[in-house]
């Protein structure tokens, strides 16, 4: 019996759903096991409800979900099915068009009614997703910023899962501030990076100084430095566009490609982590602040002054799982921070306009790495406060 191209596309999409595929399941399990191995206790992060594959759903629920998904997919045009399949099979790595569907078309699954974007996200990304308030639309999407449109994009890779900050935060990721004193470190990159020693960081070259200190320069909203352990690799990357992809290997990638940088680091761990950066992160300046979206297959770890309680004398490292977004920096909050003597590191002054991001490996009191400069691959994002 011959199948139509539409039916073949629908079958391929169903086979690519979040709970299915032994190869994907093993990869997810390996990533989750490695993440747990480097975390304290159960490795709690700021992304609750991270669903593994095969959540033990009953056969009846699986059958109902399959019937509902097929009903929705069969309404789509062939071109829409091809775009959705490309997005799902590339795991968001490829640029894919919006999947515009009626905004008021909800689908009932069991006792719950889900908007179509939530339903497709449940099927292809997060089986435990419950409500549209748990996701955030990416700025690449045509529905971004549109509150009451007749059509809404249902491409599951045009959305990210929102991180919820822990309260109270786990003690293993906090840094005491009481013993730290400010120290001037001339001619160095203005950085909050700890090294665990008294030495200054690598001096900035002329191009770096020009990027960071040009008076009245508003051409860039941030600069990004890439580090491998205590060594900075490459020059500072100046960011003018509102969105930046930072990646090692991304199909159709356009942005800061870490794979093109020349590194002399021969450490096997650095090379292993570098290869796991994959699709990396997306850094986006939006109306309410700067968001970081984890596009990779492994957790990232973020530290920012504006993620903390303003009255706290400690800094928290936040763990962000794959597919999740977090507002890493808040300009308004940064300007209100009054901590002239709040310095995390003994070798240089603390700046509230800096965010640190480590790939794969975390740091803190319950990790073997106490300082981010011991992490194999990490970023420092310095914001233009003019």
In order along its 386 residues, the chain shows pLDDT tens digits of 457 899 999 999 999 998 643 344 444 445 544 544 444 433 446 665 554 444 445 677 788 889 999 999 999 999 999 999 999 999 999 999 999 999 887 788 777 888 999 999 999 999 999 899 999 999 999 998 887 778 999 999 999 999 987 554 444 444 443 322 333 333 333 333 343 332 233 333 434 545 555 544 568 999 999 999 999 999 999 999 999 999 999 887 789 999 999 998 989 999 999 999 999 999 999 999 999 999 999 999 999 989 877 666 667 889 999 999 999 999 988 888 755 544 443 334 446 789 999 999 999 876 889 899 999 999 999 998 77
CA distance 157 to 137: 9
Cis omega (within 30 of 0) for bond into 168: yes
**Exposure string (b/e) for 106-130, b if CB count within 10 Å is 16 or more?**
ebebeeeebbbbbbbbbbbbbbebe
CA dihedral 29, 30, 33, 38 (to 10 degrees): -140
Give the pTM: 0.79
Q: How far is CA 191 from CA 177, 220, 333, 349, 383, in A?
A: 17, 17, 19, 8, 11
331 has which bridge partners? none
């Amino acid at each position: 019996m011959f199948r139509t191209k539409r039916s073949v596309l629908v079958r391929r999409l169903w086979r690519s759903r979040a709970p299915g595929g032994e190869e994907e399941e093993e990869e997810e399990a390996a990533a989750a096991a490695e993440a747990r191995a480097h975390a304290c206790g159960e490795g709690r992060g700021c992304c609750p409800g991270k669903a593994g594959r095969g959540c033990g759903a009953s056969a009846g629920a699986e059958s109902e979900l399959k019937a509902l998904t097929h009903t929705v997919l069969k309404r789509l045009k062939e071109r829409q099915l091809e775009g959705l399949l490309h997005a799902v099979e590339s795991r968001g790595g490829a640029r894919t068009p919006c999947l515009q569907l009626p905004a008021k078309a909800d689908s009932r699954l069991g006792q719950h009614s889900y908007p179509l974007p939530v339903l497709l996200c449940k099927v292809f990304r997060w089986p435990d997703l419950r409500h549209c308030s748990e996701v955030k639309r990416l700025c690449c999407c045509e529905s971004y910023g549109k509150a009451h449109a007749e059509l809404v994009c249902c491409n599951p890779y045009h959305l990210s899962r929102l991180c919820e900050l822990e309260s109270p935060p786990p003690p293993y990721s906090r840094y005491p501030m009481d013993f730290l004193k400010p120290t001037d470190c001339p001619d160095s990159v203005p950085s909050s990076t700890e090294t665990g020693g008294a030495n200054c960081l690598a001096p900035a070259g002329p191009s770096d100084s020009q990027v960071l200190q040009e008076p009245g320069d508003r051409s860039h909203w941030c600069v990004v430095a890439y580090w491998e352990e205590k060594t900075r690799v490459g020059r500072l990357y100046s960011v003018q566009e509102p969105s930046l992809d930072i990646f090692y290997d991304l199909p159709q990638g356009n942005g800061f490609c870490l794979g093109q940088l020349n590194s002399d680091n021969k450490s096997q761990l650095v090379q292993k982590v570098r290869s796991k950066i994959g699709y990396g992160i997306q850094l986006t300046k939006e109306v309410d602040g700067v968001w970081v979206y984890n596009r990779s297959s492994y957790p990232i770890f973020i530290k920012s002054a504006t993620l903390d309680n303003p009255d706290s004398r400690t800094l928290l490292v936040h763990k962000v799982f794959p597919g999740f977004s977090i507002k890493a920096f808040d300009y308004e909050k940064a300007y209100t921070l009054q901590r002239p003597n709040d310095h995390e590191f003994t070798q240089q002054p603390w700046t509230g306009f800096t965010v640190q991001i480590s790939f794969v490996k975390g740091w803190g009191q319950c990790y073997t790495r106490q300082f981010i400069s011991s992490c194999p691959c990490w970023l420092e994002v310095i914001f233009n406060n003019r």
